[in-house]
Amino acid sequence: MKLLIPNSNEIELKTLILDLNGTLTVRGVLVKGVSKKLKVLKNKGLKVVLFSGDTRGNGKDISDKLGIEFFVTSTGEEKRIEASKLNPETCIAIGNGLIDTALFRTVKLSIATLQSEGVHVKCLEEADIVVCSILDALDLLIDEKSLVSTLRV
Walk me through the domains of the chain, giving residue ranges and CATH numbers.
2-15+22-147 (3.40.50.1000)
Q: What is the pLDDT of residue 9?
A: 81
CA–CA separation, 81 vs 102, rounded Å? 9
pLDDT (mean) for 9-23 = 94
> Does residue 8 have a pLDDT over 90?
no
Closest by Cα among 148, 36, 33, 34 to 94: 34
Q: Is 153 exposed, middle or buried (0-12, 13-18, 19+ CB in 10 A)?
A: exposed
Query: Is pLDDT above 80 for 115?
Result: yes
pLDDT of residue 134: 97
60-110: per-residue pLDDT in tens? 999 999 999 999 999 999 999 999 999 999 999 999 999 999 999 999 999
Average pLDDT, the chain: 94
Residue 125: is its pLDDT beyond 90?
yes
Is residue 113 over pLDDT 90? yes
pLDDT at 5 over 90: no
Whole-number Å distance between alpha carbons of 153 and 150 = 9
- pLDDT at residue 33, rounded to an integer: 97
